[in-house]
Structure 1
């Protein structure tokens, strides 16, 4: 049996129905909230190394955020560590040396560089002050222990090539992984290595302290061509080809952020660039950092493009000693693309 509605209960009923209708209409009228950007994790092979500075600078300048990207930068001591993290799916991209894309193709892995940051390695073969009299060229490294960041790293690739080019086979010297930065400096000072390959700002630190001298300088184009016979594209952003095929829009945004960063670097002084960097990257000696950065600026590309003679030079270096690459057919066109950087407007 229905109970009769009183005046008060009828009014309450009408109010309730109106409220529900209003809420439903309001929900329909509210625009959908934009989905948060997908997180993109980049592993950097030593985030405080100047060869990889564009990654940190892009973050500091807000260029990733301006492109609507949620980018997290992680750091590993060597490029080989970043490569392994990417292949395991822990990160989506690596800022490391381009030569890994060739090495990986030889091992059946498809990886592609989408932005070239350094047209030269930025690496320097240093000789401990105590060994300077006995090591005057790479031909003198027989019986010596040579420091590299890690076995299988780009420093080990380059060290082996320089020694081989000087007529010294790998069986006549020892490669010792000593990392970079302070660990490299310690290895020099303790006499654990007679010479070793490292980058800025470690180079300037060793020169300032007098603990080491320069043997081979690949911080500029002329020095690199003299050492390796051509331009050697080095630091770059590379990703797995399967990821690139599925995320062309994200790749385009990353390319824009990095190219804008490279343009900034070529239109600002070392002092102005350093002013953008976090204190933990600069360290306690700001003047030393600025000096090292000034010496490094010639290594960076202006537009992120692959140098025309670069891939062939890198392949020549790796084919000389790397058993995975030597004698193998490598399709260099699958190791890089200028597609995304070419689309960045001036």
Structure 2
């Protein structure tokens, strides 16, 4: 049924036997680490898996899900995973620590992270400055949701030490933490955000699901979810990396042509948080922030550096090699492949 859904919305299914690819792949069996796979932030990864795009490329992919992006990063650094599906800025943070990681296909062209306050614990909220001394829930400490929180706080003159950062995950646990009053504010993503907003348990103060708003907040295009890997892995397995990029670009393109009903059919039931209508609303709110082609914007790395430096004094004097943290070579080849197939 998912295959029929794919063709109904106008994209061409490339029915190339996976074995034709497998012979050329250096590492057909690999593990991708992700922090919060149920999030719409990683919807292209989910689509590539559920619609069989990895298999079509001759890949046998295991997706290891963690509580947040920082945990997924640790899995690759520690050697238990090969590739990360995570936030672009982690490549920069790791370069500052002397580790070479490179993004090679984009999932999100804006962070899609929303920060909001708990109207129950902060009924008199007036400005971000009111968050001083409060508890802020993020997916995991050190993850992109934590960076977003720090960024919003910094613009109000607050430092990370002025608040308590608490890891609450990216699913029902995050919803429960907000509704029970365990946290005073949250930095998280859809479908968690839409669920809380619809039930009146969230007042939004910054929303980067809107590309224009994200550009305004960060001062330029801020690349978000992507696939990235150690440079050594990319150098050793270029055909495998190309196959991964093909699958993700195909998923990116499918999503842009898909409607809510197509998404609901393709996404696992457990990702819907018990409410299909909420998930559909979340998809529609986030769709514009998802990448249409997997290409990382040329100014994106510079924007990410500025954002990181604004929240981390230790990075202020670091000289980054921006060209070393991303490449569009694989995504360009993938787009050319699918353009010819139309």
Residue in 2 that maps onto 1:179: 169
Residue in 1 that maps onto 2:146: 156
Q: Relative to structure 2, which stretch is displaced further, 151-160 or 328-337?
A: 151-160
Residue in 2 that maps onto 1:219: 209
Alpha-carbon offset, residue 140 of structure 1: 2.5
Residue in 2 that maps onto 1:194: 184
Decide whether the 8 Å contact of 1:162 with 1:228 is kept in 2: no
How far apart, CA to CA, are the structure 1 residues paired with 2:126 and 2:223? 27
- Normalised to the residue count of structure 1, the TM-score between the two structures is 0.87
- Normalised to the residue count of structure 2, the TM-score between the two structures is 0.88
Alpha-carbon offset, residue 132 of structure 1: 4.8
Alpha-carbon offset, residue 154 of structure 1: 1.1
Deviations 1:39-76 (A, max 9, x none): 11101111111101111110111111111111111210
Alpha-carbon offset, residue 153 of structure 1: 1.2
Residue in 2 that maps onto 1:267: 257
Shift in alpha-carbon separation, 1:242–1:134, aligned structure 2, 3 A: same
Gaps of 5+ in 2: 1-21
Q: Relative to structure 2, which stretch is displaced further, 127-136 or 196-205?
A: 127-136
SS in 2 for 1:193: coil
Q: Relative to structure 2, which stretch is displaced further, 217-226 or 274-283?
A: 274-283
Deviations 1:4-38 (A, max 9, x none): xxxxxxxxxxxxxxxxxxxxxxxxxxxxx969963
Correspondent of 1:326 among 276, 294, 316: 316
Shift in alpha-carbon separation, 1:232–1:35, aligned structure 2, 3 A: closer
RMSD: 1.7
How far apart, CA to CA, are the structure 2 residues paired with 1:230 and 1:34? 42
Decide whether the 8 Å contact of 1:107 with 1:324 is kept in 2: no
Residue in 2 that maps onto 1:17: none
Map residues 63-82 of structure 1 onto 2, 5 A cutoff.
63-82=53-72
Map residues 35-54 of structure 1 onto 2, 5 A cutoff.
38-54=28-44
Residue in 2 that maps onto 1:302: 292
How far apart, CA to CA, are the structure 2 residues paired with 1:113 and 1:324? 23
Give yes or no for the alignment of 1:284 onto 2:306.
no
SS in 2 for 1:343: helix
Decide whether the 8 Å contact of 1:132 with 1:213 is kept in 2: no
Alpha-carbon offset, residue 80 of structure 1: 0.6
Decide whether the 8 Å contact of 1:136 with 1:215 is kept in 2: no
Deviations 1:176-235 (A, max 9, x none): 222222221222122221111010000111012111121111102111123222221110
Residue in 2 that maps onto 1:342: 332
Decide whether the 8 Å contact of 1:106 with 1:324 is kept in 2: no
Residue in 2 that maps onto 1:25: none
Alpha-carbon offset, residue 296 of structure 1: 0.9
Deviations 1:137-165 (A, max 9, x none): 32332222211122211111111111111
Residue in 1 that maps onto 2:18: none
How far apart, CA to CA, are the structure 1 residues paired with 2:205 and 2:163? 16
Gaps of 5+ in 1: 1-32
How far apart, CA to CA, are the structure 1 residues paired with 2:155 and 2:47? 36
Residue in 2 that maps onto 1:97: 87
Residue in 2 that maps onto 1:315: 305
SS in 2 for 1:340: helix
Q: How many residues align?
A: 314
Give yes or no for the alignment of 1:122 onto 2:128.
no
Query: Could you say which structure has the larger radius of gyration?
Result: 1
Correspondent of 1:112 among 102, 107, 117: 102
Q: Relative to structure 2, which stretch is displaced further, 320-329 or 182-191?
A: 320-329
Alpha-carbon offset, residue 323 of structure 1: 4.3
